[in-house]
Amino acid sequence: MRNNDSFTIALTKGRILEPTMEILKKVDFNLEEMEDPGRKLILKDKVNNTDFILAKPDDVPIYVENGAADLGIVGKDILIESDSQFYELLDLKIGYCRMVLAKEKDITPKGITVASKFPKITEKYFKEKGQNVNIIKLHGSIELAPLLNLSDQIVDLVSTGSTLKENNLEEVETITEITTRLIANQGSYQIKRDRINNLLKQLKKVI
């Protein structure tokens, strides 16, 4: 992957970082600095003239839209909620989880108030069902909302569903499946098209 074009890629910190690194290693990125980053937030692959930004999920599309990063790797849930402009290039097929509607067990919800970190996804889901609901956006543990009588139902991401069960909640319906995506800055895609397309070809081979 040696190339004269510099590259900056924004990576999502958290649970998808490790599988993301595994994919990047397979396409010959040098990630030695990422093995022990310490407090560094920008790490370098000098062999491939690439910088990696370690970012919070919500910030990745913003960095990409504004040109701080040429590419970004982030969950589809973040992209749906984002107002940023970017090109979505590839489903990396990692970080699989589901966006679900859930409620307290043995309680019939009134269906009026729904708590979620994902108001756009929630609003779209209920609009398609012809239902008007009051959406409360929370940033912490969504499972608390029905337990504290703050909402009738919740919309949240689940992987195994164990957190719901531990809090006496049950799934009502799967709204959408979520995986990790590669996105590009629109300008970078035009200027660095050859390198980006070369990367895409390599990624498709390993996923």
φ/ψ of residue 99, rounded to 5:
-95, 120
More confident residue, 136 or 160: 136
What local confidence, expressed as pLDDT, does residue 25 receive? 95
Judged against a pLDDT cut of 70, whether residue 84 lies above it is answered with: yes
Judged against a pLDDT cut of 50, whether residue 4 lies above it is answered with: no
What local confidence, expressed as pLDDT, does residue 33 receive? 83
User: Mean pLDDT, to the nearest integer, of 131-137?
Assistant: 94
- What are all long-range contacts of 137-143, with beta carbons under 8 Å and residues at least 24 apart? 142/115, 142/116, 142/117, 143/167, 143/169
Look at the domain 97-178 and name its fold: D-Maltodextrin-Binding Protein; domain 2 (3.40.190)
Grade residue 1 by pLDDT with cuts at 50, 70 and 90.
Answer: very low
More confident residue, 4 or 75: 75
The number of residues making up the chain comes to 207
What local confidence, expressed as pLDDT, does residue 111 receive? 72
Judged against a pLDDT cut of 80, whether residue 18 lies above it is answered with: yes
Q: CB count, 10 Å around CB of 206?
A: 12
What local confidence, expressed as pLDDT, does residue 5 receive? 72
Judged against a pLDDT cut of 90, whether residue 32 lies above it is answered with: no
What local confidence, expressed as pLDDT, does residue 100 receive? 97
Nearest Cα to 197, choosing from 41, 59, 76, 89? Answer: 89
Judged against a pLDDT cut of 70, whether residue 2 lies above it is answered with: no
Judged against a pLDDT cut of 80, whether residue 91 lies above it is answered with: yes
Judged against a pLDDT cut of 80, whether residue 148 lies above it is answered with: yes
Grade residue 161 by pLDDT with cuts at 50, 70 and 90.
Answer: confident
Note the pTM of the prediction, 2 decimals. Answer: 0.90
CATH 3.40.190.10 range(s) for the chain read 7-95+179-206, 97-178
Mean pLDDT, all residues of the chain: 93
Judged against a pLDDT cut of 50, whether residue 184 lies above it is answered with: yes
- The CATH code that applies to domain 7-95+179-206 is 3.40.190.10
Taking phi over 0 as left and psi of -120 to 50 as alpha, with beta for the rest, 34 belongs to alpha
